[in-house]
């Protein structure tokens, strides 16, 4: 069924399309195999031998023994020789990781790109996520705990959860009473290789449940903005929002800008209206990676929004067709409770479709990248995902239907950006005057102090931090009014010697962004 459209200008709903009944869980007698027994990538090589190709030699190549630990040195040495075509380490390869979860064969979305999958088997050999990486699922909550009338989803047992919050009921138990958030969470980090049900993308990653949508899948922009800020303030590095509305909001945009300024990568669903307008918050392209949906055959799903602002596509499914011939509709399969009865203690494996299902594919891959270390900032992750996406459609590059293309986990994990220079803070012009602040006499002693007036150009409100040196040594901080703020130094007993008060502006903060002050940032006043 397709859920209700927007209820009012202040309400938004989860972008959910639900399939028919749950799949039967197949029994499995396989013994779980530790993932640590598999290689984590093809970069490992034999430590005492190299491969060399000699010029004008009929033999294809030679394996040459070298001293232990001298592989790279010997490769360089041989490569310099004029009789050598090439020299390289003798790399190891591993069998691609295939999880033993019995319903994995129905997860076409994790397969090869030829069938609109995201290349997970090869990607898992490079990264499975890490518990230090936290993905906030801002949604209807997650079936993450056994509490009152709620229960932990069986296939999320073993998934790492960090503390979240429920903005619908205003408590610290963001449990799911809709089924949507649990399904979304499963795609990101469903427990994997546990001989049970389905798999998740970044299954060693931690999840933060943040409930902003109610049992009907609706919630206010205020709750969503609060959820975004909560996630940013409590350690989430990635946010997934499989929700959206049709109207812009300064409140929503402000929360996104805040999270982005704190280094949070934000992913949101493009919307399920089938129109050429990306929904909000996905439409805020400065801060958010907007994700549309594809089918098994790699074409845009009929319901997926498209157009300006669309960044990527990922599998969202189409339960109306069975293009891969596996006997069920081509939805996205995960463990959650019955979306029809909404009993949060009765679980099954359900096929959903929607851009809600596509977005967590991108969030999961972002978590793999961050754990792998080849892309860690929001801009790096966006660039890595876009530059390595599988190009779809009729023209090369960005297209309205597909953005930059289908996310590819394996290719993204091999992305190497240009070496980055050390990040520098943006600058802002300031002016500073230090004058006599005043004096007072106590018995026979006179005490004096200085005053510093700081003007910050181009803004009304900024937080100014600075310090005094010389006659006085203290730290001051304050907020400008109409661009100006003043500070008094500590009082100092006046002596016959000159007293020099020096103030230096250290830092300016505007809307949670730190600026380096330039211009007149240091000034002094002398009491003779």
| 3-state SS, one letter per residue, for 125-152 | CCCCCCCCCEEEEEECCCCCCCECCECC
Confidence of residue 418 (pLDDT cuts 50, 70, 90): low
40, 58, 84, 92 from 50: Cα distances, Å: 21, 18, 13, 12
Q: Is residue 508 over pLDDT 70?
A: yes
Q: Which of the residues are catalytic?
A: 139, 180, 356
pLDDT at residue 187 greater than cutoff 80: yes
Given a cut of 60, whether residue 344 has pLDDT beyond it is yes
Checking if the pLDDT of 43 tops 90, the result is: no
- Give the mean model confidence (pLDDT) for residues 147-152: 96
- Rounded to 5 degrees, φ, ψ at 444 are -100, 0
pLDDT in tens, 205-216: 999 999 999 999
Q: Each residue of 215-247: b (16+ CB within 10 Å) or e?
A: ebbbbbbebbbbbbbbbbeeebbbbbbbbbbbe
Cβ burial of 447 (10 Å; 0-12, 13-18, 19+) is middle
Residue 118 has pLDDT above 60, yes or no: yes
Q: What is the mean predicted confidence (pLDDT) over 362-390?
A: 96
pLDDT at 29: 19
Query: Once rounded to an integer, what is the mean pLDDT over residues 236-255?
Result: 94
| pLDDT for residue 461 | 87
pLDDT for the residue 185: 98
* HEC string for 68-80: CCCHHHHHHHHHC
Q: Using the predicted structure, report yes or no on whether residue 326 has a pLDDT greater than 50.
A: yes
Q: Where are the alpha helices (DSSP H) in 13-91?
A: 71-79
pLDDT at 96 over 80: no
Which among 281, 323, 317 has a CA at the least distance from the CA of 302? 317
Nearest CA among 161, 367, 164, 379 for reference residue 263: 379
Evaluate if residue 38 carries a pLDDT over 80.
Answer: no
When mean pLDDT is compared across 37-46, 48-57, 71-80, 389-398, the lowest value belongs to 37-46
Residues, the chain: 528
What integer pLDDT is reported at residue 26 of this predicted model? 24
Q: What is the DSSP letter of 230?
A: H
Please say if the pLDDT value at position 465 is more than 80. yes
460 pLDDT more than 90: no
Over range 425-431, report the average pLDDT: 83
Least confident of 5-19, 184-198, 323-337: 5-19
Average pLDDT over the chain, rounded to an integer = 87
Produce one character per residue of 156-166: b if its CB has 16 or more CB atoms within 10 Å, e if not: beebbbeebbb
- Give the residue-averaged pLDDT of 419-436: 74
The pLDDT-based confidence of 10 (bands split at 50, 70, 90) is: very low
Residue 298 has pLDDT above 50, yes or no: yes
**Banded pLDDT at 2 (limits 50, 70, 90):** very low
pLDDT at position 23: 37
Two tokens, residue 66: 């070298």
What does the DSSP assignment read for 239-264? Answer: EEE-EEBSS--HHHHHHHHHHHHTT-
> Would you call 110 helix, strand, or coil by DSSP?
helix
Q: What's phi and psi for 499, nearest 5 deg? A: -110, 120
Other C-beta atoms closer than 10 Å to the C-beta of 410 total 22
Tokens 């229960």 belong to which residue? 151
Residue 357 has pLDDT above 60, yes or no: yes
DSSP code for 105 = G
- As a whole number, mean pLDDT of residues 422-434 equals 77
Q: Against a cut of 0.75, is the pTM above it?
A: no
**Is the pLDDT assigned to residue 411 strictly greater than 90?**
yes
- Selection from 204, 13, 165 nearest residue 3 by Cα: 13
What integer pLDDT is reported at residue 479 of this predicted model? Answer: 93
Task: Please give the pLDDT value at position 112.
Answer: 86
């Amino acid at each position: 069924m397709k859920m209700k459209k927007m209820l009012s200008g202040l309400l938004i709903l989860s972008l959910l399309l639900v399939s028919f009944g749950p799949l039967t869980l197949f029994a499995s007698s396989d013994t779980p195999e530790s993932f640590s027994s598999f290689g984590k990538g093809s970069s490992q090589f034999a430590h005492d031998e190299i491969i060399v190709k000699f010029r004008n030699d009929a033999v294809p190549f030679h394996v040459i023994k070298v001293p232990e630990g001298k592989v790279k040195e010997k490769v360089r040495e041989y490569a310099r020789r004029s009789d050598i075509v090439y020299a390289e380490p003798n790399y190891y390869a591993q069998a691609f990781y295939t999880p033993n979860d019995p319903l994995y064969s129905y997860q076409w979305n994790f397969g090869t790109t030829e069938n609109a999958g995201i290349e997970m088997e090869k990607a898992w050999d490079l990264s499975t996520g890490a518990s230090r990486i936290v993905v906030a699922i801002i949604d209807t909550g997650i079936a993450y705990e056994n509490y009152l009338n709620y229960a932990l989803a069986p296939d999320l047992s073993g998934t790492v959860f960090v503390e979240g919050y429920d903005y619908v009921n205003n408590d610290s138990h963001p449990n799911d009473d809709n089924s949507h958030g649990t399904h979304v969470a499963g795609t990101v980090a469903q427990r994997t290789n546990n001989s049970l049900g389905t798999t998740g993308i970044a299954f060693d990653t931690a999840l933060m449940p943040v409930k902003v949508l109610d049992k009907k899948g609706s919630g206010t922009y205020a709750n969503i903005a609060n959820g975004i800020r909560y996630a940013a303030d409590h350690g989430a590095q990635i946010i997934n929002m499989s929700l959206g509305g049709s109207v812009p909001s300064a409140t929503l945009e402000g929360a996104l800008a805040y999270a982005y300024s704190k280094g949070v990568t934000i992913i949101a669903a493009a919307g399920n209206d089938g129109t050429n307008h990306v929904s909000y918050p996905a439409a805020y392209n400065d801060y958010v990676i907007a994700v549309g949906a594809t089918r098994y055959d790699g074409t845009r799903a009929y319901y997926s929004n498209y157009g300006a602002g669309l960044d990527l596509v990922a599998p969202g499914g189409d339960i109306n067709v069975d293009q891969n011939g596996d006997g069920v509709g081509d939805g996205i399969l995960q463990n959650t409770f019955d979306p029809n009865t909404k009993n949060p203690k009765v679980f099954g494996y359900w096929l959903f479709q929607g851009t809600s299902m596509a977005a967590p594919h991108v969030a999961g891959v972002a978590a793999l990248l961050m754990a792998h270390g080849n892309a860690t900032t929001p801009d790096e992750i966006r660039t890595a995902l876009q530059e390595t996406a599988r190009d779809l459609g009729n023209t090369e590059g960005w297209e309205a239907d597909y953005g930059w293309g289908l996310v590819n986990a394996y290719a993204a994990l091999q992305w190497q950006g240009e070496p980055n220079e050390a990040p520098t803070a943006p600058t802002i012009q300031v002016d500073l005057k230090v004058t006599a602040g005043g004096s007072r006499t106590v018995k026979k002693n006179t005490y004096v102090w200085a005053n510093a007036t700081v003007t910050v150009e181009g803004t009304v409100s900024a937080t100014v931090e600075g310090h005094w040196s010389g006659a006085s040594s203290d730290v001051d901080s304050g907020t400008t009014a109409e661009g100006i703020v003043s500070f008094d130094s500590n009082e100092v007993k006046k002596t016959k010697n000159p007293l020099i008060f020096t103030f230096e502006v250290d830092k300016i903060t505007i809307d949670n962004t730190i600026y380096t002050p330039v211009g007149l940032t240091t000034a002094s006043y002398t009491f003779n």
